[in-house]
Amino acid sequence: MASAETPAVPEAEAEAVVESTPPPPTEVEPPPETKTAGDSPSIDYLGLGEVVLRFLLFASAVVAVVVIVTSEQTKNSRPAKFNYSPALIYFVAAVSVLGLYSIITTLFSFYALILKPGFFPQVLSHFIIVDVLLLGIVSAATGSAGAIAYTGLKGNSHLGWGKVCAVYGKFCRYVGASVAVSLFASVVLAFLVLLSVYSLSKKIPK
């Protein structure tokens, strides 16, 4: 029938039909589950890196909390504890929340790595939102505790605030160490967010 009519019109229509239906993808990358099912040496570096970083985050959060909670010191029957300062209380609360969140997400991403067929893909990509929020909270906590510790170390002659660390040496050392560890935790959290963004940008469409 088409050959009997003028060839130009059906050719144009055929072109239109071909253009409207998208051409089938010639090179389809196989989804990761079938690729890695029989292919054991291929390691999912991004997933492994995520589990390692999250565990590192959990470890540093636990260390920071333990160090600052055991930092009590008494001199001349006047104790110095972390709960005498609202900034340090906020610091302990924020880092504890970070520790709890990081152990949960470590387990999630570990299961997602082991049980390869993309068990919790949606949840993992939503973790990045809470990651960035926690980065803000933990950075604020680090800043607060660091400011209080610095003021305790150097004092402030303009305001009449004395150097506390000259008296309470052990307390100041412990608080300083805890702040340093939580600074490391913030850096790890920032790298984790970058890793998540990078792996999100590389994801194969599901």
Partner 1 sequence: MESQYKSSGNGGMEVGERERGVAVANKRNMRGCDVVLRFFALALTLTAAVVLGVDKETKTVPVTLVPTLPPVNVPLTSKWHYLSAFVFLVVANAIACGYAAISLLLTLANMNGKKGITMIIIFFDLVMVALLFSGVGAAAAIGIMGYQGNSHVRWNKVCNVFDKFCAQAAAAVAISGIAAAAFLLLVLLATFNLHKRH
Q: Does 176 bind partner 1 (CB under 8 A)?
A: no
Nearer to partner 1, 117 or 121 (CB): 121
Among 21, 26, 76, 77, binds partner 1 (CB under 8 A): 21
State the sign of the Cα–Cα–Cα–Cα dihedral 45, 50, 55, 60. Answer: positive
Q: Does 139 bind partner 1 (CB under 8 A)?
A: yes
Q: Does 162 bind partner 1 (CB under 8 A)?
A: yes
Burial letters 96-123, b for 16+ CB under 10 A, else e: eebbebbbebbebbbebbeeeeeeeeee
Helix (H) or strand (E) holding 79: strand 78-80
- Binding region for partner 1 (CB under 8 A) out of 37-45, 56-64, 112-120, 191-199: 191-199
Helix axes 169-201, 45-69, angle to 10 degrees: 160
Structure token digits, residue 197: 């963004």
Pattern 29-68, partner 1, x by CB under 8 A = ----------------------------------------
Nearer to partner 1, 25 or 38 (CB): 25
- Binding region for partner 1 (CB under 8 A) out of 35-43, 51-59, 60-68, 194-202: 194-202
Instruction: Report how far residue 175's alpha carbon sits from residue 147's, in angstroms, rounded to the nearest whole number.
Output: 11
Task: Provide the phi-psi class of 24: left if phi over 0, else alpha when psi is between -120 and 50, else beta.
Answer: beta
Nearer to partner 1, 107 or 132 (CB): 132
Instruction: Report how far residue 98's alpha carbon sits from residue 60's, in angstroms, rounded to the nearest whole number.
Output: 10
Binding footprint of partner 1 on the chain (CB under 8 A): 1, 5, 9-10, 13-14, 16-17, 19-22, 78, 80, 84-87, 125, 128-129, 132-133, 135-137, 139-148, 150-152, 154, 156, 158-162, 164, 186, 190, 193-194, 196-198, 200-201, 203-206
